[in-house]
Structure 1
Amino acid sequence: MKYGIVGCRGRMGVEVERAFGALGHSLVLTSDLEGVECRERPEVLVDFSSHAALAGTASLCREHRCGLVVGTTALKEEHFSLLRALGTEVPVVQSFNFATGVNVLAMILKDYAPLLSDWDLEISETHHNRKKDAPSGTAILLREAAGRDCPTHSLRLGGVPGDHTVCFGNDGEVLTLTHRALNRSVFALGALRAAEFARTARPGFYSFRDVLKKSVEES
């Protein structure tokens, strides 16, 4: 697969290049604050940079007619509108978290949280002290999957890649669901899975859960 990275010098850009390169995929386009370098037409772009770069990324996708995997956080409605519009032309996979376990947790919440609608619900998340947005996009994703608003707590400590805990409780029981990312490679491997999907998918705006469901259908 021929791919490009937007934000190639960032922490996740480096992880993506390592994960893709280990499987022999070819990095043919790189983009950072210094500009764009393109050797060949990419089949898919991977963007973990900044929402400020998203319009430029969309332009690159249109120029090269390639799919997009975007893991940028702190997106607002204007950014989602841009991605949905791009999805009418090329396949776009967007997620705030490309770890498989987090997305399985979101699916569990969507299916079963309604059974606990009369329980208290709170979400907590912990990330490294350089993360700017709070609550995290993943915490928002989990809250939306649970189907109701709830208190959400954010901690910024050291170099934690990402911990998320969803806690339900009533007078007699407490149910705690936790996902812990042990390193950033899990996000890069998820992005690889999404890129393989976007490489052949029809134009559309997809979530990583769509990617996981498709892999189950094909297994």
Structure 2
Amino acid sequence: MTIKIAIAGSSGRMGRMLIEAVQAADDVELSVALDRLGSDAIGQDACAHTGKNCGVLITDQLSALQNADILIDFTRPEGTLEHLIVCQQYGVKMIIGTTGFDEAGRAMLEAASQKIAIVSAYNMSIGVNLVFKLLEIAAGALSHGYDAEIVEMHHKHKVDAPSGTAIAMGQAIAKAWDQTLSEIAVWSREGITGPREDGKIGFATLRGGDVIGDHTVVFAGEGERIEITHKASNRTIYAQGSLRAARFLQHKETGHYDMQEVLGLK
């Protein structure tokens, strides 16, 4: 059965990439294209940027979601949470790649998962989620005598730091160490900081140019250094991961899932 897909932020870079991925797949179809209120793209064909029309016009009317099975949302927390309310009304499942939710926002997602099925992830890339699994294994083996540092770089337009993916990497390491990230994270360093404390996870954030997303985790020990790196060169990896999540959700009614579950890694 063909899955009817709605896409939020349809005129943005990620939205357009998602539209192209949906159009190229045989088992999904674009049924709704949303954009923010007042966008210049309202009323335009959602596929116009590809040089072909698909007959789906971009709209800011959230009531259009009743025509979809699943909404894919890579926008911003405030927009995603607004969409979440409407999706619950119409029984539309959600795939959420939005990052930067506060505690209240995360609680809203969890509560909504009692009514609709949701996949949310800091990163939808299949490769990145494999890295999360590798980090669990590495951190378990390197729990003593090794210092963990996470370095990430993104384009200059990214508004949150560190990235959601970097945070998720830190959480994977902390879990393997039987810790919570909030207790052992060092988010920044400046001035005379003193010697590095054992058992901490350091973060470094770089911003510039058009970098889509680079992440490196360093386990530094005496006499050796292990580095696990993922570099994204094209946003299609997030779109393909999202479609894989859509196929997973097709057979779920409620629940809150992550990409590790989608990929069968846990």
Q: Does 1:177 align with 2:228?
A: yes
Query: 183, 190, 199: which is aligned to 2:250?
Result: 199
Count how many residue pairs are aligned between Structure 1 and Structure 2: 215
- The residue aligned with 1:84 is 110
Secondary structure at 1:166's aligned position in 2?
strand
Which of 30, 33, 37 matches 2:36? 33
Secondary structure of 1:165's aligned partner? strand
Question: Higher Cα Rg: structure 1 or 2?
Answer: 2
AA aligned to 1:76 is D
Q: Tell me what 1:48 maps to.
A: 74
More helix per residue: 1
Q: For residue 213 of structure 2, what is the aligned residue in structure 1? A: 162
**2:66–2:90: 8 Å Cα contact kept in structure 1?**
no
Could you tell me which runs of 5 or more consecutive residues in structure 1 were left unpaired when the two chains were aligned. none
Q: Aligned residue for 1:74? A: 100
SS in 1 for 2:250: helix
| Shift in Å, 1:30 | 2.3
Inter-partner Cα distance in structure 2 for 1:39 and 1:50: 18
**How many Å apart are 1:76 and its aligned residue?**
1.3
Maintained 8 Å contact 1:2/1:44:
yes
Task: Tell me the alpha carbon deviations over residues 13-34 of structure 1, each in whole angstroms, 9 at most, x when there is no partner.
Answer: 1111110111143222222212
Offset from partner CA, 1:155-196 (integer Å, 9 cap, x none): 112111101000001111100000011110100110111111
Q: Which portions of structure 1, spanning 4 or more consecutive aligned residues, are displaced by more than 3 angstroms?
A: none
**1:15 alignment counterpart:** 17
Q: Percent identity?
A: 34
Measured after TM superposition, the shift of residue 40 of structure 1 is 5.9
TM-score by length of 1: 0.93
Checking the alignment, whether the CA contact within 8 Å between 2:65 and 2:90 is kept in structure 1 is no
Question: Is 1:104 the equivalent of 2:130?
Answer: yes
RMSD over aligned Cα, in angstroms? 1.6
Q: Higher mean Cα deviation, 181-190 or 142-151?
A: 142-151
